[in-house]
């Protein structure tokens, strides 16, 4: 069954429904609804009378209170978020941190807005206002995030979800009962805390595009009327995917529930970024090839699969992930996998390129010579592994005074133009990391090559260049020029660094690039 993402109206309605219980409880509490008020007071009175004669019970719940403070729940969430970040589930990690931050901020805001006094006969000392229960809100968010949303979004099996869900629900009950038994908050304060936690989880889940339960699909049954099971090949750069065993298990399970046989699993080597693996995948005659690795691995595999008609699904696993970004594939592994496997096929262009000392090759994203190639080639590998694409900022700072070079540029059959430049970039797509629109008009399926020439003469002119890029300025000026064509030839007066899709290819003086329209089929997310 194909999944159709909810519309904007559907998401808005879901958020409103998630906030409705908190709104209702708050109105009942502060309009002093008699049944709720009587319930609050009777429970508080009974607890106070019981606690006065059972000091050992009170001391036990004091210990529970000390252990289950809201900061404990927030700390657990941060630890899990750090683990997910390490496992490259970046979207889920950020979602957890944002959810914990929202819980902290909103719970305190509600307390200071409503100023509800605590019960008169508290059994222990407690400061602050009573509504809402910060303990109950934090515990509910912890249980909802780690016990309900996260296992469902990440596609855990049912028994594993139960192993996580049941303890977290128990924690919510223990924390909430503790608040009432110590008579430091009313029952309605706890109910309001649960409702606020529900509202926070709903809003953040919808805001981050998380859709619990969508991965629990039924395995396709092959009947006599069906064709044979689908076949897939997976090409992986093992250095880029972290826990390879868990990664393989996740991919295999996701394919299986969509009717695929066990995939052909191929790993790249130090001496081969994916060319031999792609050729073997072609021999397998798959219905889909998944490639997980850096931009270099993706480029090699896509080049090998050009003009075969076999769809390629790009799973982001590298430093730049530029093709995935430009095809609107999420960078979170689970989300990317779902969007690709349930996506649509789209034909895009590749660009054939050759130059001095370079065999004929192809790229899908960008090629360049000059400063951009120097930045890519000199980015410290250990920083790329630790901090991702921001390592390029370190390399950019080191190369800020990279020398300019005289180049001759010829597009199609036009007369060549000469420029003294810092860098020339040839693009099949337009967006860099952090959504920097280097080539704002570039499209991967327009049958054209886009070229940008960047030529500030002094370091002090770089801020102006950056401003022109970020504001998508289209006017031509001496610091920033853009050209469009089907073929481009670039000749430099001296040897300069060159790169293809984020891989340095060594020094040289010329590059020739020509578009190959619609030569690659890629699997992309469905339109919303």
| pLDDT per residue as tens digits for the range 278-298 | 999 999 899 999 999 888 899
409-452 residue pLDDT tens: 999 989 999 999 989 999 999 888 767 888 888 999 999 999 99
Which pLDDT band holds residue 200 (cuts at 50, 70, 90)?
Answer: very high
In the block, tokens 């066990």 appear at 262
pLDDT tops 50 at residue 165: yes
Confidence class of residue 524 from pLDDT cuts 50, 70 and 90? Answer: very high
What CATH number is associated with residue 418?
Answer: 2.60.200.40
Long-range Cβ contacts of 107-110 (<8 Å, 24+ apart): 107/70, 107/132, 107/134, 107/137, 107/138, 107/193, 107/196, 108/134, 110/26, 110/192, 110/196
User: pLDDT per residue over 304-323, tens digit each?
Assistant: 999 999 999 999 887 778 89
Q: What is the mean pLDDT of the chain?
A: 85
Q: How far is CA 127 from the centre of its chain?
A: 40
pLDDT of residue 7: 55
Q: Are residues 166 and 57 in the same domain?
A: yes
- The answer to whether position 525 is within a domain reads no
Domain of 377, in residue numbers: 358-516
Question: Last residue of a domain, which of 314, 349, 384?
Answer: 349
Query: Is 462 a member of any domain?
Result: yes
Q: What's the mean pLDDT in 17-43?
A: 93
Cis peptide before 132 (omega within 30 of 0): yes
Give pLDDT, residue 154.
56
Instruction: Give the residue with greater pLDDT, 56 vs 4.
Output: 56
* Among candidate residues 349, 381, 411, the one where a domain is terminated: 349
Which residues, 6+ apart, have CB-to-CB distance to 234 below 8 Å? 248, 251, 263, 264, 265, 266, 289, 290, 291, 292
- 125 lies in a domain? yes
Higher pLDDT among residues 217 and 446, named by residue? 446
Q: Specify whether 58 is located in the same domain as 189.
A: yes
In a shared domain, residues 115 and 195? yes
Q: Is the pLDDT of residue 34 over 90?
A: yes
At 384 the pLDDT is: 58
The reported pTM is 0.58
Q: Could you tell me if 444 and 491 lie in one domain?
A: yes
Residue 3 has pLDDT above 50, yes or no: no
Residue 512 forms part of a structural domain:
yes
Residue 3: closest CA among 327, 326, 344: 344
Q: Same domain for 25 and 169?
A: yes
**Pair 300, 370 in one domain:** no
Is the domain of 365 the same as that of 335?
no
Same domain, 366 and 386: yes
Task: Look at residues 329, 349, 369 and tell me which one is the last residue of a structural domain.
Answer: 349
Residue 417 β-bridge partners: 409
pLDDT at 390: 65
Phi, psi of 174 (to 5 degrees): -65, -45
What was the pLDDT predicted at 528?
Answer: 59
Residues 128 and 23 reside in one and the same domain: yes
Residue 377 to residues 371, 497, 498, 527: CA-CA distances in angstroms? 10, 8, 9, 36
Using 50, 70 and 90 to split pLDDT, how confident is the model at 5? very low
Tell me, what's the pLDDT at 381?
Answer: 65
Please state the domain count of the chain: 3
* pLDDT greater at residue 42 or residue 457: 42
Which tops the pLDDT comparison, 198 or 461? 198
Residues 260 and 362 in one domain: no
Total number of residues shown for the chain:
528
Q: Is residue 225 part of a domain?
A: no
Do 169 and 190 have their domain in common?
Answer: yes
The whole-number pLDDT of residue 349 equals: 94
Confidence at 87, pLDDT banded by 50, 70, 90: low
Q: Are 396 and 295 in the same domain?
A: no
pLDDT at 155 over 50: yes
Cβ within 8 Å of residue 265, ≥6 positions away: 233, 234, 236, 248
Contact residues for 312 (Cβ-Cβ < 8 A; gap 6+): 288, 289, 290, 291, 301, 302, 305, 520, 521, 522, 523
């Amino acid at each position: 069954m194909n999944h159709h993402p909810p519309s904007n109206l559907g998401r808005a309605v879901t958020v409103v429904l998630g906030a409705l219980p908190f709104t209702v409880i708050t109105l009942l509490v502060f309009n002093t609804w008699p049944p709720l008020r009587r319930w609050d007071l009777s429970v508080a009175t009974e607890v106070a009378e019981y606690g006065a004669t059972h000091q050992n019970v009170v001391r036990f719940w004091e210990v529970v209170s000390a252990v289950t403070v809201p900061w404990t729940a927030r700390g657990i969430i941060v630890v899990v978020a750090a683990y997910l970040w390490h496992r490259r589930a970046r979207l889920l990690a950020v979602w957890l941190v944002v959810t914990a931050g929202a819980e902290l901020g909103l719970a305190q805001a509600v307390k200071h807005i409503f100023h509800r006094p605590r019960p008169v006969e508290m059994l222990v000392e407690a400061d602050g206002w009573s509504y809402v229960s910060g303990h109950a809100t934090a515990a509910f968010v912890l249980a909802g995030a780690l016990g309900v949303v996260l296992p469902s979004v990440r596609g855990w099996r049912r028994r594993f979800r139960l192993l996580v869900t049941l303890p977290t629900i128990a924690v919510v009950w223990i924390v909430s009962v503790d608040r009432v038994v110590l008579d430091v908050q009313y029952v309605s304060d706890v109910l309001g805390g649960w409702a606020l936690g529900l509202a926070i989880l709903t809003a953040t889940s919808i805001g981050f595009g998380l859709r619990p339960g969508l991965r629990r699909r039924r395995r396709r049954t092959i009947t006599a009327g069906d064709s044979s099971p689908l076949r897939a090949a997976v090409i992986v750069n093992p250095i880029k995917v972290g826990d390879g065993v868990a990664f393989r298990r996740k991919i295999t399970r996701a394919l299986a529930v969509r009717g695929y046989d066990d995939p052909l699993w191929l790993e790249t080597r130090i001496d081969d970024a994916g060319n031999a693996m792609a050729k073997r995948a072609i021999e397998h005659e798959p219905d889909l090839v998944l490639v997980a690795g850096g931009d270099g691995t993706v480029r090699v595999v896509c080049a090998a699969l050009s003009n075969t008609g076999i769809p390629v699904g790009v799973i982001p696993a590298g430093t730049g992930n530029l093709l995935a970004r430009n095809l609107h594939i999420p960078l979170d592994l689970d989300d990317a996998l779902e969007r690709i496997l349930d996506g649509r096929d789209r034909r895009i262009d590749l660009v054939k390129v050759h130059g001095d000392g370079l065999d004929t090759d192809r790229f899908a994203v960008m090629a360049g010579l000059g400063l951009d190639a120097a930045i890519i080639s000199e980015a410290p590998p250990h920083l790329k592994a630790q901090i991702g694409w921001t390592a390029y900022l370190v390399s950019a700072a080191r190369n800020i005074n990279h020398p300019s070079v005289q180049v001759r540029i010829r597009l199609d059959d036009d007369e060549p133009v000469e420029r003294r430049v810092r860098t020339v970039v040839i693009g099949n797509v337009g967006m860099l990391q952090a959504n920097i629109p280097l080539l704002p008009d570039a499209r991967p399926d327009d049958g054209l090559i886009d070229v940008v020439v960047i030529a500030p003469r002094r370091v002090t002119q770089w801020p102006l260049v950056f401003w022109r890029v970020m504001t998508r300025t289209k006017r031509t000026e001496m610091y920033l020029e853009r050209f469009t064509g089907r073929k481009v030839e670039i000749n430099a007066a001296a040897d300069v660094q060159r790169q293809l899709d984020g891989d340095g290819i060594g020094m040289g003086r010329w590059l020739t690039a020509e578009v190959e329209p619609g030569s690659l089929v890629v699997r992309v997310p469905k339109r919303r």
